[in-house]
Structure 1
Amino acid sequence: MTHLFKFLTLPHPSGEVANIFIHGYSAGHDMEDRYALRKCIPSSLHNCVNIFAFWPSGHWAQFDGLSGGGVLVLTRLSTIAGAAAAVVDRACHFNTSRNRATTMGKTLLLQLEDYLFKHHPYVSKVNLVGHSLGGRVVVSALLDLVKKPAEENLKINDVLLMAAAVELSGEDALAIKNIISGELCNAWSGEDDVLRFNLGETSIGRQKVENCKDVPMPKFGHTDYWPRLEQVLRASGFNGYISGLPASNQPQPNIKSLDPVVSDHLLYDLLDLTSDRIRDQVAKHLRSSSWTTLETHHSLYLLTKETQLLGGHCLVNLARGRGLKYVQILLTLAEHYDLLNELHYCARVFEMEALLVSKCFRSSFGETHVLASPQSIIEQMSTMSEKGYFEQVDTLAASLTVTSYFSKTKVPAPKYRQPAPPLVSKGLTLASTSLLPSLTNLISTDRIKAAVTNLKTAVKPGYSALIPVVAVLFYARLDLNNEGLL
């Protein structure tokens, strides 16, 4: 398991102060959850640089092959035995994540300083916000700093611990206060029953702590802190927070049941804003699948819906009348191509698409293909003509069908355009590549393994159309270069 953080700077960075947000257990584990966390950061913090520090915290519902298989075998023998084994396995899984949080904390400040130096060199002060095991990461980082004072110029101002799943003595809290310039705040709730499962420790997220600024959050459950973050910031007097209207005077949103097609912003809005030429390419590949009902005339709504229907299990989707959201589609493809571990380094959807699309080209045409490298695919696409790229996608689509095993697919030579500015702006390049030294060894050079993967793709309902659609959408996303859709 990697001990690298994946840092993500949220839109509208401003000022010389950075707020660093660190999630806990069962959070930030996939792209959909990362987008949900991003939406929790209130606009009242737009006067700062807001950065999420994603770490491999694990998820209670994700079993590895060994533990999942063992639980399944016991369940077949006895439901009670299977349930008991699952509980024990999840307890061990949480304990592993808890230990990892402590280890990650000892590397947090060093990795953070390196990230700030490369991407935000003007930042001179940071505030740390940790929730649940993210609070444990923060405490571990600060206690390590107490023991080994750093010589860096990074100044730590406020520290906000929310429902922290960690023990902290008054003596250690005082030591931390002595090395920071702001407040050490402990936002806690006695009604947080989830922290009772932090066995062997008395979590500070349920009680006051001596030498901390006490921030009681009455009636808060463990999962209330992120969606009600602005309330916590107001109660703690968090540095950099610009308070707006009192909570009681703020208008309550009128939440309606949203259409799953229109509300899939990463897909629907992208298709809405892109060119007719690119939409035509999407429609062409969708119509190549017998699982779609797209006619010659295609609307924005139908393009989105038919793409969603190809994600996951087509028969299940058709039976229930709806498919998967786009981020869920990318997750199923990542699982199909055995890329789940690499998703930790993807904090934005275009990074996930780059990983997938390069893997598909590499699997079909080998490592020498111009689009086979996740490190260089964006650079290649920025110089390749639109027509040339779509020809490459057409060839990829042909290689993913069953008939391709009875004929040799000829890969066209890439067509390049005159030198032009990169498709994505400076600072929106594939940030994960600098943290992916292992990606060059992702794919085995054994072509038999690649052929088996492609055969599974060919017989998977809808996948031979879905994968080229994702490749086209990837191009559309980079070409549009809309910060909200990246």
Structure 2
Amino acid sequence: MQHQWDEMHRTRKPTFVLCGEPQGDVLNLYVHGYSAFFNRQQLGSFKAQLAGIEGSTNLMLFWPAGHFLENLFAPFKDVLGAMLSGGNLGAATVGVGKAIAYFLDHYKSVEARVDEVARSLLPELASYLHGESLEVRRINLIGHSLGARILVKSLLASPETARELPLDNLLLMGGAICTSSPWDEVSAPLKGRVINCHSSKDWALAMKPDTERCIGRYAIPVTPALKAKVTNVHLATFDHAAYWPQLQTVVQYTDLLHERRGMIRSDQRSSEVRFAEEDAELFPALVQARPEELKFLAELMAQKRSASIDATVREPLKLAIELQRMGGDTFMNLARGHGVSYRQIAEDVVQRLGIKFDGLLDSVELADLEAQVAEKLIEQYKDKLSNADRQVFDAQLKAAAQKEQGLFSRFDVGRSATTALSGTALAGLTGFILRRGAATAIPVVGQAVAAAMLLVSGVRAFSGPAYSITTLAVLVIGLIRQRMEREAMSQEMDLVVQVVEAFDLPRETVMRTVASD
């Protein structure tokens, strides 16, 4: 890794980095975007992450994408020091203005290299495969941000080489390229599809220094001629930095390696499978879930006599389908061919628990719905615990609160442990239940919730939603989502620490400033 880092920065020439040992005859080529690696350690961590994608040979194009921290703080170290130590606003404004100007110039200089890298990419890939004697049957191209632009332009720059290579799918994540690109020409040499992962929460692309309407924020316009070749995947919860940390989720969600009948071959899916896989607020979270979380959900849903799964199931797709079924009315499920979305499940649980919001329910953030459900159930749950269990539970909540306070907490630190739901009470409740096991936890909470439902709505129809099941499921899905958010925040904090150490900034002051944002 040391040699590859030094060689690329010395020659400024892209180089291929093999990530792990070759695994079969399917090759994934990953192309990173702007400002991907600040040091060799970050590059090494990324290489190790790619090596973990099983079922394929994983190759990365390491190209001179720079990093926005390069020489950014050094010229303004005194200004930053003065600003963090209470210096005057004028000095801080000048420093920020210079930093922004530097960033724009730096980004433009990196962007200017894209065409050069793209022109040589496919011919050099063919040469590399021949030189390394790597025989591949399919090649998937995966690019993020400017890496997506490089891949698109490489297909346009070398159409003949593209046709000679066994190119399968082109996966674009947060792509920094215009939606009006010639997608018919881009998709022509592919045996598979162009898969565009986009998100309206990608604010990095919204602030890109031009007026380009990027595919990372918007869907590619699909004409009748492109319908069989282009798939848009809306990852509603993703920001620009979410793709690499959740790469395994994206690869499985888009069925890049043809491991299941997934989004790429949509015509082969049943309506139930399609509905589950396209539930962006449920299926990606289950794909990212930990083994104990999947185990809890399986045991939870298997308690219902009408369940179509047993407690041993761990497949995210099967669990998603079953939860959606339990969230809907049996007869309505049969009529429409599938259950209901996770969003509707969460809203139904909120209504049944009598939770009120100021505005319309459909305008409330999903995370807020999950948090309020957790708060309500914590009250019910604690009332049902023995004194000994209540002490253990309170200790778990306090430990979770102490772990989170001071680092990107979205809640006031003065709030009690039972209401600070940014991964605190939510993690405490579900973590406590998970450790006890679903078999012992469900009777306690399930009966409490069922009793509450009877008080609210009278005797339920036998075909109605399984609220005692879906209520706890909302807790667990909320836990998974909050954990993913905290892990992403932790990575941001790691970057802050690296900057502090690299430029010898006042550590405690910087940390207090970051934590208060």
What's the TM-score once normalised by structure 1's chain length?
0.47
The structure where helix makes up a greater share of residues is 2
Point out which structure has higher relative CO (alpha carbons under 8 A, 6+ apart).
Answer: 1
What's the TM-score once normalised by structure 2's chain length?
0.44
